[in-house]
Structure 1
Amino acid sequence: MEWLGLHFLTELPDSGQVVLQCSHNPVLVLLAYIVACAASFATLDMAERVSHVEQATHQRLWRWVGVCCLAGGIWAMHFIAMLALEVPLEIQYDLPLTLVSLLLALIAAWLAMNTLSHIELPLWRYGVASVWIGLGICCMHYVGMAAMRSSASLYYEPMLMGLSLLVAIGGSLAALLLSRHLRDGSGMFHQLLKYAISLVLGGAIVLMHFTGIWSMTLVLPAGSLPTSVAPNGHMQLGLTLSVITLLIIASGISAALADKKLQHKERDLRRVNALLSQLDQARVSLQQVAHYDALTNLINRRGFNQLFAEKLMEKNTFGGMLAVMFLDIDHFKRINDSLGHDAGDELLKVIAGHIKSSTRSHEDVVARLGGDEFCILINLHERDEARLMAQRIMQKMKEPIELGGRRMVMTTSIGISVFPDDGKTCEELLKNADLALYQSKGAGRNSLHFFSSGLKTRATLELQLEEELRNALRDDQGLLLYYQPIYDLKLGRVTKLEALVRWQHPQHGLLLPDRFIDIAETNGMIAELDNWVLRKACEDLAYLSQNGSGELKIAVNCSALNLTRDTLAEEIAAALRDAQVAPQRLELEVTENALMGNIASTLALLQQIRDLGVSLSIDDFGTGYSSLAYLKRLPLNTLKIDRSFIQDIPKSTQDREIVQAIIVMAHTLHLQVVTEGVETLEQQQFLEHYGCDYLQGYLLSRPVPLQDLGRVLDELNQRHDRLNLRMPGLDRGEPGSPGPAPDSPDHHADASTVQLIR
Structure 2
Amino acid sequence: MEWLGVHFTTQLPASGQVILNCAHNPFLVMLAYVVACAASFATLDMTERIRHAEKPAAQRLWCWVGAGCLAGGIWAMHFISMLAFQAPIEIQYQMPITLTSLLFALTASWLAMHTLRRPHLNFWQYLRAAVCIGLGIATMHYVGMAAMRSNATAYYHPDLFALSIVIAIGASLAALLISSYLRHGSGVFHQLLKYTASLVLGAGIVSMHFTGMAALDLVLPDNSLLPLPGDNNHLQLGLTVAVMTLLVIGSSISAALADKKLQHKERDLQRVNTLVGQLDQARLSLQQMAHYDALTNLINRRGFNQIFAERLIEKTNEGGMLAVMFLDIDHFKRVNDSLGHDAGDELLRILANHIKASVRSHEDVVARFGGDEFCILIGLHDREEARHMAQLIMLKMQEPIEFSGQHMVMTTSIGISLFPEDGKTCEELLKNADLALYQSKGNGRNGLHFFRQDMKARATREHPLEEELRQALHANIGLMLYYQPILDLKTGQVSKLEALVHWQHPELGLLAPDRFIAIAEANGLIAELDNWVLRKACEDLGELSSHGSEGLKIIVKCSPLNLTRIAFADEVKHALRAAGVAQHRIELEVTENVLVAMPLAELRPVLNEINQRKQSRNFSPLSLARGTTALTSTDLFPGIPGSHAVASIVRPIH
Change (3 A) 1:149 1:476: farther
AA aligned opposite 2:101? S
Change (3 A) 1:324 1:280: same
Classify the secondary structure of the residue corresponding to 1:11.
coil
TM-score normalised by length of structure 1:
0.65
Equivalences for residues 182-201 of structure 1 within 5 A: 182-186=182-186, 190-201=190-201
- Which residue number in structure 2 is paired with residue 135 of structure 1? 135
Asked if 1:673 corresponds to 2:649, the answer is no
- Which residue number in structure 1 is paired with residue 20 of structure 2? 20
1:220 deviates by 4.7
- Which residue number in structure 2 is paired with residue 626 of structure 1? 609
- Which residue number in structure 1 is paired with residue 174 of structure 2? 174
Classify the secondary structure of the residue corresponding to 1:626.
helix
CA distance in 2, matches of 1:622, 1:407: 20
Change (3 A) 1:592 1:402: farther
Contact 2:614-2:636 at 8 Å conserved across structures? no
Change (3 A) 1:5 1:646: closer
Contact 1:482-1:500 at 8 Å conserved across structures? yes
- Which residue number in structure 2 is paired with residue 547 of structure 1? none
1:344 deviates by 0.6
CA distance in 2, matches of 1:591, 1:90: 140
- Which residue number in structure 1 is paired with residue 495 of structure 2? none
Asked if 1:310 corresponds to 2:281, the answer is no
CA distance in 2, matches of 1:136, 1:481: 121
1:433 deviates by 0.3
- Which residue number in structure 2 is paired with residue 351 of structure 1? 354
Contact 2:435-2:456 at 8 Å conserved across structures? yes
The C-alpha deviation readout for 1:505-556, integer Å capped at 9, x for no partner, is 65456778887676667656789x599979x99xx9xxx9xxxxxxxxxx99
AA aligned opposite 2:30? L
Change (3 A) 1:196 1:563: farther
CA distance in 1, matches of 2:250, 2:22: 33
Please say which of residues 323-332 and 226-235 is displaced more in the overlay.
Answer: 226-235
- Which residue number in structure 2 is paired with residue 438 of structure 1? 438
Quote the RMSD (CA, aligned, Å): 5.4
Change (3 A) 1:505 1:42: farther
AA aligned opposite 2:34? I
Contact 2:348-2:372 at 8 Å conserved across structures? no
Contact 2:440-2:447 at 8 Å conserved across structures? yes
- Which residue number in structure 2 is paired with residue 35 of structure 1? 35
- Which residue number in structure 2 is paired with residue 338 of structure 1? 339
Asked if 1:240 corresponds to 2:223, the answer is no
- Which residue number in structure 2 is paired with residue 464 of structure 1? 464
Contact 2:530-2:558 at 8 Å conserved across structures? no
Percent of aligned pairs with the same amino acid: 59
CA distance in 2, matches of 1:590, 1:186: 94
Change (3 A) 1:164 1:315: same
Gaps of 5+ in 2: 484-497, 544-555, 591-602
CA distance in 1, matches of 2:150, 2:378: 109
The C-alpha deviation readout for 1:677-711, integer Å capped at 9, x for no partner, is 9999xxxxxxxxxxxxxxxxxxxxxxxxxxxxxxx
1:134 deviates by 1.7
Classify the secondary structure of the residue corresponding to 1:424.
coil
AA aligned opposite 2:339? S
AA aligned opposite 2:86? E
Contact 2:168-2:205 at 8 Å conserved across structures? yes
1:24 deviates by 2.6
Contact 2:330-2:446 at 8 Å conserved across structures? yes
Equivalences for residues 108-123 of structure 1 within 5 A: 108-123=108-123
Contact 2:47-2:116 at 8 Å conserved across structures? yes
Contact 1:133-1:169 at 8 Å conserved across structures? yes
Change (3 A) 1:179 1:627: farther
Please say which of residues 194-203 and 113-122 is displaced more in the overlay.
Answer: 194-203
CA distance in 2, matches of 1:678, 1:372: 38
AA aligned opposite 1:348? L
Change (3 A) 1:468 1:119: farther
CA distance in 2, matches of 1:372, 1:482: 39
CA distance in 2, matches of 1:280, 1:664: 67
Please say which of residues 132-141 and 315-324 is displaced more in the overlay.
Answer: 315-324
Change (3 A) 1:278 1:19: same
The C-alpha deviation readout for 1:709-733, integer Å capped at 9, x for no partner, is xxxxxxxxxxxxxxxxxxxxxxxxx
- Which residue number in structure 1 is paired with residue 487 of structure 2? none
Classify the secondary structure of the residue corresponding to 2:607.
coil
Change (3 A) 1:291 1:28: same
CA distance in 2, matches of 1:268, 1:643: 78
Classify the secondary structure of the residue corresponding to 2:609.
coil
Contact 2:315-2:321 at 8 Å conserved across structures? yes
AA aligned opposite 1:60? R
1:451 deviates by 1.5
AA aligned opposite 2:194? K
1:353 deviates by 3.9
CA distance in 1, matches of 2:522, 2:455: 18
- Which residue number in structure 1 is paired with residue 74 of structure 2? 74
Classify the secondary structure of the residue corresponding to 1:624.
helix
- Which residue number in structure 2 is paired with residue 204 of structure 1? 204
Change (3 A) 1:417 1:104: same
Change (3 A) 1:118 1:669: same
Contact 1:296-1:352 at 8 Å conserved across structures? no
CA distance in 2, matches of 1:12, 1:236: 34
CA distance in 1, matches of 2:324, 2:511: 36
1:333 deviates by 3.8
The C-alpha deviation readout for 1:178-234, integer Å capped at 9, x for no partner, is 322333545555545434433332232223223333444445555567665344111
Contact 1:559-1:590 at 8 Å conserved across structures? no
- Which residue number in structure 2 is paired with residue 99 of structure 1? 99
Asked if 1:125 corresponds to 2:125, the answer is yes
Contact 1:400-1:407 at 8 Å conserved across structures? yes
- Which residue number in structure 2 is paired with residue 713 of structure 1? none
Please say which of residues 118-127 and 315-324 is displaced more in the overlay.
Answer: 315-324
1:126 deviates by 1.1
Change (3 A) 1:461 1:202: farther
The C-alpha deviation readout for 1:104-135, integer Å capped at 9, x for no partner, is 21221121011011111122211211122122
CA distance in 1, matches of 2:523, 2:26: 101
Please say which of residues 508-517 and 117-126 is displaced more in the overlay.
Answer: 508-517
Contact 1:398-1:411 at 8 Å conserved across structures? yes
Equivalences for residues 467-486 of structure 1 within 5 A: 467-468=467-468, 478=477
Q: How many residue pairs get matched?
A: 609
CA distance in 2, matches of 1:194, 1:461: 90
Contact 1:412-1:447 at 8 Å conserved across structures? yes
Contact 2:558-2:589 at 8 Å conserved across structures? no
Equivalences for residues 698-717 of structure 1 within 5 A: none
Contact 1:642-1:677 at 8 Å conserved across structures? no
AA aligned opposite 1:351? H
Contact 1:47-1:179 at 8 Å conserved across structures? yes
Please say which of residues 386-395 and 212-221 is displaced more in the overlay.
Answer: 212-221
Please say which of residues 442-451 and 373-382 is displaced more in the overlay.
Answer: 373-382
Asked if 1:414 corresponds to 2:385, the answer is no
Contact 2:614-2:621 at 8 Å conserved across structures? no
Equivalences for residues 551-700 of structure 1 within 5 A: 624-626=607-609, 628=611, 672-673=643-644
Change (3 A) 1:470 1:47: farther
CA distance in 2, matches of 1:14, 1:530: 142
Contact 2:355-2:396 at 8 Å conserved across structures? no
